[in-house]
């Protein structure tokens, strides 16, 4: 619980350099200072502090903590202050107190250079216990390991840790800077869009909300996609929203049923316009303490990315790219290699792993996928082979790092645009059918528009992904703005019932401007910036990986009477039904 | 659809005075200017504009519109430009076009001083139709009345109107200024809290969200109340959020199932601290064009408010206060007046209505409520009498205004704090039971704490309401931070099962700081600032009063298969069941 001093100072330095204006943490309250504020310049001043007892020793002194830091408090030992001494000596750790006293220099030799307030101490005159703390379920020091479940159950205690305070405050600051950039510099309008909407086609991951109309349900949308496009049709020109989104994926590690995206849409823009906007946005809001980032970000096509890294979200902080060693191996006499190369378009690819471990890797990389047998027609056979090598590349990096090498420095930030995705992919269950690689509103690449009507599998899209250190942190596209083209994609290519999207199709007929946009995954982005192991560390009240709130115990049972207005009833699974009525 | 010029200029002046920085609407796109930007200083420049055709006349000129204004475009008549002429002459109104051309002064005498761009016109060189517009369902001019349902169905067209553009943009700006005040000036942290939570006690108005665990439901909270208090326990010190909230009230005029509040909580603060914070917040974010507001706001007790205005949200823009005329009437010989006054504590009250209409009012005001018969014991008998007079006061104002008097000038803003509410009220259905006047977390007034245990009906609370021109625009309180007191209120006074709030009660035991907060109803506040008749006019995609989205048709039916993962089924009301299976 002792504040990691360097981070702490960096943070406040960062915060002050952000704001050219005076930031006042003591307005509207009776404290004179926070617990992180006092310096030798304050010596002699009478101050009033409010905070939590971090530590107390033998009735002599205590350390008081608030969100900003720690201050050493000297407990008076004279008879006249016996009441104050008794009060402070008996208060349990983590009790909340007010102390009023005088700032003094610490005696020579007792200064603590590791503490921003380490030059001073406060000699108490009066004190008040505002709330006592009962025995804690765990010691809330950063270095003490607790189970995740216990931390989640007592989230309000975990929030007192330096790390979570830091993460949430930095998140708030970064978002504020993003807003300044969008709203104050570039004329974007912050528009709130509904979260009670209706099911979108293929929206199998959308939560339902029963309405009072029998059989009718709202749906919590996975993104404001339709609304932001309709805002462009409505002439809003530049929209953004820090949007709450919902996705019901059941249990998945490090996903949350509700999450936040920086949602952006612009009219009359092209792919490059959105990319420059986002680069400027990230540069403007980037915390100083995390170094600076260079723009423009490099760009790579989907095909290059798969060929070189075996994934569409490559971690470009390190090399070990995939190379074609077919020519080299043609001269070898290894039987199964020769066999692989004898297929039409047969190749052998590999990654070169530095510093040993070659044998494992070599075995793996010789695996190959001749075109005719496995690869679906739309992707070159080498892509699948590359995908396996891409996983091997990351696994190898894990092993090398476990052995002490630094391949992926978390303080280095490699942003990358991945572009020219295919517009459609074969449906996994039924490969003769096509589905949208991203969503049905994505516009085809201008060079491939005519292919849309002749060979849609070959059409590249105007979708772009933003990748940071091997993580997808954003994605967007130029949208279809022609009603005719949108109807063709929905009905002819995707064979979907366009009726549920009739309002959007109709809107495109009423003078919809060309438009495009992007959404950044805020939780993931912030977690990478603060180098947190999970997005749960940058969310105040996250759900468990099973979607439960372990503090408040949600979701929970409700009575049949509470369901009545919504005309629904629980259909108990057979097992539970039988357990109830044996 | 012609922009009301004065408002328009005010708006952009306001926006520029807000921001000491350069605001660029033309970044990241290929337009050189917006349609509201060109002045005589631009004459001779080649410009590229994008916009909607507002009006086109005989192939000679057209008016191009975007979010910022209108520009007159001169269509070339020479042979070399015959293609451009054909294109622009044939494009239907509301089609989206790009035009490139040269800014020229309008011929002498043809300037339009009512238009910000009225000194110039643009002579087109090249043009492109980006999207054509089919026949509109209604003419989208501000002065043409459409049915509310039609406007909602084609919301994206209605959004193109000046008024909605103005409302949404002003809303975005005001919220941005609020964020600057809270975040950059006063150290508040913007924290997002979950919307998938669990049902709160008495939360009959909460939407349910079925989970994948059979029988278990999330609930969409009516406010982040519990979370913001837990953030204070977590040491966040100063929290705010522009929070989406949910309330299922069925059909009620001018309510929305989802709405937004400016949600604030602070530690170590008292009632006056929160009030000064909010006054500063509103003053800082107040749009210049709406005049200035004076702080501190006046304050009135609940009792005074009811006695003088017959309501707890008095419109103090005009007088006609309630007066006690008992003494005056004691000398009268009107039989039923004498009868009323003969009761113990019997009074006669009245309002004085200026300029005629006295007779109606007089009849009404003589009505009275002797203590013993009607008034519940906790409120003085005169309060009920006052409530009737309060309604009469507003009805009279309606009538007087219909007759031409201005009593309630919408450009005048009277903020008012109403304080010292009762902490508990008798349950309407069972008056011997008590319920919270606001919510169970409200702290008792410091002077009344001991009454909590002896006579809870007499306890005033530390709740405060913010009233603007007769509308409640905010409410908050200092909260209970003692676990013992909170448990007493829940279990002994309210007789509620405290188990569902066990996490909050437990949190109060672990060093919860004294804290308090407030929530401002953003939709209502903005609608009053822009003088909109309904909150629907300041929300981009509002629901109808029946909770329906008329554009996208939500809520909607879903298939039984879609309900399966949530272990629910529809229990069709009898009537519909019979209709289906006759």
Window from A553-562, B347-356, B373-382, B516-525 with minimum mean pLDDT:
B373-382
Report CB contact under 8 Å: B155, A482. no
In sequence order, what DSSP letters do the residues of A212-243 get, joined into one string?
SSTTEEEEE-SSSHHHHHHHHHTT--EEEEEE
Percent of chain A with pLDDT over 90: 73
A61 contacts: CB under 8 Å, gap ≥ 6: A72, A73, A74, A75, A121
Q: Does A505 touch chain B (CB under 8 A)?
A: no
Q: Does A296 touch chain B (CB under 8 A)?
A: no
Region of residue A442 (phi > 0: left; psi between -120 and 50: alpha; otherwise: beta): beta
| Confidence class for position A270, pLDDT limits 50, 70, 90 | very high
B363 contacts: CB under 8 Å, gap ≥ 6: none
Per-residue pLDDT at B385: 83
Beta carbons within 10 angstroms of residue A409's beta carbon: 11
Per-residue pLDDT at B346: 80
| Confidence class for position B73, pLDDT limits 50, 70, 90 | very high
Per-residue pLDDT at A376: 36
Mean pLDDT across B472-477: 98
| Confidence class for position A372, pLDDT limits 50, 70, 90 | very low
Per-residue pLDDT at B115: 93
A202 has pLDDT over 70: no
**How far does A3 lie from chain B, in Å, by closest CA?**
14
A364 has pLDDT over 80: no
Give chain B positions within 8 Å (CB) of A66: 235, 237
What does the alpha-carbon distance between residue A460 and residue A439 come to, in Å, rounded to a whole number?
13
**How far does A472 lie from chain B, in Å, by closest CA?**
22
Give chain B positions within 8 Å (CB) of A244: 192, 195, 244
| Confidence class for position B348, pLDDT limits 50, 70, 90 | confident
Per-residue pLDDT at A142: 63
| Confidence class for position B21, pLDDT limits 50, 70, 90 | low
DSSP B345: T
Which of B47, B129, B156, B284 best probes binding to A when mutated, by most A CB atoms within 10 angstroms? B156
Report CB contact under 8 Å: B567, A572. yes
**How far does B557 lie from chain A, in Å, by closest CA?**
4
| Confidence class for position A96, pLDDT limits 50, 70, 90 | very high
B2 has pLDDT over 80: no
Give chain B positions within 8 Å (CB) of A556: 198-199, 216-217
Per-residue pLDDT at A333: 81
Report CB contact under 8 Å: A25, B238. yes
What does the alpha-carbon distance between residue B6 and residue B162 come to, in Å, rounded to a whole number?
12
Per-residue pLDDT at B408: 92
Window from A137-141, A367-371, A487-491, A556-560 with minimum mean pLDDT:
A367-371
Q: Does A563 touch chain B (CB under 8 A)?
A: yes
Burial class (CB in 10 A: 0-12, 13-18, 19+), A270: middle
| Confidence class for position B139, pLDDT limits 50, 70, 90 | confident
Report CB contact under 8 Å: A231, B540. yes
Give chain A positions within 8 Å (CB) of B136: 510
Q: Does B173 touch chain A (CB under 8 A)?
A: yes
Per-residue pLDDT at B399: 86
End-to-end CA distance of chain B: 53
In sequence order, what DSSP letters do the residues of A168-228 get, joined into one string?
HHHHHHHHHHHHIIIIIIT--EE----SSB-PPTT-TT-EEEE-SSTTEEEEE-SSSHHHH
What does the alpha-carbon distance between residue A529 and residue A173 come to, in Å, rounded to a whole number?
13
Per-residue pLDDT at B382: 54
Which of A70, A157, A188, A209 best probes binding to B when mutated, by most B CB atoms within 10 angstroms? A209
Report CB contact under 8 Å: A211, B551. no
A534 has pLDDT over 80: yes
The strands making up B207-210's β-sheet, listed across from edge to edge, are A556-557, B216-220, B207-210
Which of B22, B28, B249 best probes binding to A when mutated, by most A CB atoms within 10 angstroms? B28
**How far does B50 lie from chain A, in Å, by closest CA?**
8
What does the alpha-carbon distance between residue B199 and residue A281 come to, in Å, rounded to a whole number?
39
Give chain A positions within 8 Å (CB) of B165: 235-236
What does the alpha-carbon distance between residue B98 and residue A269 come to, in Å, rounded to a whole number?
12
A555 prior amide bond cis, ω within 30: yes
A56 has pLDDT over 50: yes
Give chain B positions within 8 Å (CB) of A168: 189, 191, 236
> Which chain A residue shows the shortest CA-CA distance from B205?
A562
Of residues A130, A175, A191, nearest to B190 (C-beta) = A175
Per-residue pLDDT at B384: 61
Which of A1, A18, A196, A224 best probes binding to B when mutated, by most B CB atoms within 10 angstroms? A196
**How far does B261 lie from chain A, in Å, by closest CA?**
12
What does the alpha-carbon distance between residue A515 and residue A504 come to, in Å, rounded to a whole number?
14
**How far does B179 lie from chain A, in Å, by closest CA?**
8
A4 has pLDDT over 50: no
B107 has pLDDT over 70: yes
Mean pLDDT, chain B, whole residue set: 89
Report CB contact under 8 Å: A199, B23. no
What does the alpha-carbon distance between residue A343 and residue A260 come to, in Å, rounded to a whole number?
48
Interface of A with B in 235-274 (CB under 8 A): 235-238, 244, 246, 248, 250, 257-258, 260, 266-269, 273-274
Sorted by where each begins, the domain ranges of chain A are 5-157
Report CB contact under 8 Å: A556, B27. no
Of residues B198, B209, B567, nearest to A552 (C-beta) = B198
Tell me the pLDDT tens digit for each residue of B75-85.
Answer: 999 999 999 99
| Confidence class for position B356, pLDDT limits 50, 70, 90 | low
Give chain B positions within 8 Å (CB) of A235: 52, 65-67, 159-160, 165
Mean pLDDT, chain A, whole residue set: 89
A222 has pLDDT over 60: yes
**Higher confidence at residue B140 or residue A370?**
B140
Report CB contact under 8 Å: B540, A192. yes
Interface of A with B in 28-87 (CB under 8 A): 28-31, 50, 52, 65-67
What DSSP element (H or E) covers A275?
helix A271-285
What number is the ipTM of this complex?
Answer: 0.93
Q: Does A507 touch chain B (CB under 8 A)?
A: yes
Tell me the pLDDT tens digit for each residue of B445-462.
Answer: 999 999 999 999 999 999
What DSSP element (H or E) covers A24?
none
Please choose, from the candidates B443, B529, B490, the residue with its C-alpha nearest in 3D space to the C-alpha of residue B202: B490
What does the alpha-carbon distance between residue B348 and residue B338 come to, in Å, rounded to a whole number?
10
Mean pLDDT across A461-472: 98
> Which chain B residue shows the shortest CA-CA distance from A224?
B541
Per-residue pLDDT at B270: 98
DSSP B475: E
> Which chain A residue shows the shortest CA-CA distance from B160?
A234
What does the alpha-carbon distance between residue B502 and residue A552 come to, in Å, rounded to a whole number?
8
Mean pLDDT across A304-308: 95
Mean pLDDT across A480-490: 97
Of residues A29, A238, A566, nearest to B269 (C-beta) = A29
Mean pLDDT across B155-166: 95
**Higher confidence at residue A139 or residue B30?**
B30
The CATH number of B5-161 is which of 1.10.260.40, 2.30.40.10, 1.10.1040.10, 2.40.50.140?
A: 2.40.50.140
In the CATH scheme, what is the code of domain A5-157? 2.40.50.140
Give chain B positions within 8 Å (CB) of A158: 234
Per-residue pLDDT at B434: 95
| Confidence class for position B367, pLDDT limits 50, 70, 90 | very low
Tell me the pLDDT tens digit for each residue of B173-221.
Answer: 999 999 999 999 999 999 999 999 998 776 679 999 999 999 999 999 9
Which residues lie across from B128 on neighbouring strands?
Answer: B98
Give chain B positions within 8 Å (CB) of A28: 186, 266, 269, 273-274, 276-277
Region of residue B185 (phi > 0: left; psi between -120 and 50: alpha; otherwise: beta): alpha
Tell me the pLDDT tens digit for each residue of B500-529.
Answer: 899 999 999 999 999 999 999 999 999 999
Per-residue pLDDT at B18: 45
Of residues B169, B184, B551, nearest to A23 (C-beta) = B184
Give chain A positions within 8 Å (CB) of B577: none
Tell me the pLDDT tens digit for each residue of B536-581.
Answer: 999 999 999 999 999 999 999 999 999 999 999 999 887 666 665 5
**How far does A262 lie from chain B, in Å, by closest CA?**
13
Tell me the pLDDT tens digit for each residue of B251-281.
Answer: 778 899 999 999 999 999 999 999 999 999 9
Per-residue pLDDT at B311: 96
Tell me the pLDDT tens digit for each residue of A384-413.
Answer: 688 888 998 999 889 888 888 888 998 999
Residue carrying the six token digits 């009525």: A581
Count interface pairs A-B at CB distance under 8 A: 393
Mean pLDDT across A8-19: 45
**Higher confidence at residue B154 or residue A3?**
B154
> Which chain B residue shows the shortest CA-CA distance from A175?
B190
Burial class (CB in 10 A: 0-12, 13-18, 19+), A302: buried
Percent of chain B with pLDDT over 90: 73
Torsion of CA B485, B486, B491, B494, to 10 degrees: 100
Give chain A positions within 8 Å (CB) of B514: 96, 130-131
Q: Which two tokens stand for residue B333?
A: 């010989």
Which of B30, B178, B185, B209 best probes binding to A when mutated, by most A CB atoms within 10 angstroms? B209
Per-residue pLDDT at A353: 76
Residue carrying the six token digits 């792919």: A271
Give chain B positions within 8 Å (CB) of A192: 244, 260, 539-540
A487 has pLDDT over 90: yes
């Amino acid at each position: 619980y002792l504040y990691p001093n360097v981070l702490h100072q960096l943070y406040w330095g960062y915060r002050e350099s952000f704001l050219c204006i005076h930031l006042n943490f003591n307005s509207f309250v009776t404290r004179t200072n926070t617990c992180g504020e006092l310096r030798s310049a304050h010596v002699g001043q009478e101050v009033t502090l409010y905070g939590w007892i971090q530590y107390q020793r033998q009735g002599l002194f205590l350390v008081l903590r608030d969100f900003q830091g720690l201050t050493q408090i000297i407990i008076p030992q004279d008879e006249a202050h016996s009441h104050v001494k008794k009060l402070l000596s008996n208060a349990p750790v983590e009790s909340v107190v007010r102390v009023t006293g005088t700032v003094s220099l610490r005696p020579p030799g007792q200064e603590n250079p590791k503490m921003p307030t380490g030059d001073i101490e406060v000699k108490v005159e009066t004190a008040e216990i505002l709330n006592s703390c009962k025995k804690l379920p765990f010691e809330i020091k950063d270095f003490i390991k607790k189970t995740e479940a216990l931390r989640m159950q007592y989230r309000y205690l975990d929030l007192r840790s330096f790390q979570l305070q830091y993460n949430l405050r930095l998140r708030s600051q970064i978002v504020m800077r993003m807003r300044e950039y969008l709203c104050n510099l570039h004329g974007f309008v912050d528009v709130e869009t509904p979260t009670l909407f209706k099911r979108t086609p293929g929206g199998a991951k959308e939560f339902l909300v029963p309405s009072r109309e029998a059989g009718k349900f709202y749906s919590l949308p996975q993104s404001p996609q339709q609304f932001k496009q309709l805002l462009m049709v409505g002439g809003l020109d530049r929209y953004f929203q820090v949007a709450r989104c919902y996705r019901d994926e059941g249990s998945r590690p490090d996903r949350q049923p509700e999450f936040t995206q920086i949602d952006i849409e612009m009219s009359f823009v092209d792919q490059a316009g959105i990319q420059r906007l986002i680069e400027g946005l990230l540069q403007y809001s980037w915390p100083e303490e995390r170094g600076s980032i260079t723009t423009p970000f490099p760009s790579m096509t989907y095909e290059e990315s798969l060929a070189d890294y075996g994934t569409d979200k490559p971690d470009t902080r390190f090399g070990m790219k995939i190379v074609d060693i077919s020519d080299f191996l043609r001269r070898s006499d290894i039987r199964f290699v020769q066999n692989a190369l004898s297929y039409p378009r047969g190749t052998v690819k590999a990654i070169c792993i530095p510093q040993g471990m070659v044998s494992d890797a070599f075995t793996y990389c010789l695996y190959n996928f001749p075109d005719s047998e496995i690869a679906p027609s739309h992707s070159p056979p080498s892509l699948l082979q590359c995908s396996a090598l891409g996983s091997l590349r990351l696994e190898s990096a894990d092993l090398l790092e476990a052995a002490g090498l630094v391949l992926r420095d978390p303080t280095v930030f490699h942003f990358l645009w991945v572009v020219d995705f295919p517009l459609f992919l074969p449906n996994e269950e039924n490969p003769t059918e096509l589905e949208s690689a991203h969503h049905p509103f994505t516009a085809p690449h201008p060079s491939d528009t005519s292919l849309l009507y002749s060979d849609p599998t070959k059409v590249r899209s105007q979708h772009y992904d933003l990748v940071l250190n091997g993580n997808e942190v954003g994605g967007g596209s130029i949208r279809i703005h022609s009603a005719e083209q949108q109807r063709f994609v929905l009905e002819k290519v995707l064979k979907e019932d366009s009726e549920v999207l009739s309002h959007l199709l109709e809107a495109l007929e009423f003078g919809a401007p060309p438009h495009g946009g992007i959404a950044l995954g805020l939780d993931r982005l912030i977690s990478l910036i603060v180098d947190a192991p999970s997005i749960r560390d940058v969310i105040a009240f996250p759900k468990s990986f099973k979607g439960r709130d372990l503090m408040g115990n949600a979701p929970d049972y409700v009575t049949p009477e509470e369901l009545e207005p919504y005309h629904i009833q629980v259909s108990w699974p057979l097992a539970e039904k039988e357990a109830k009525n044996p």
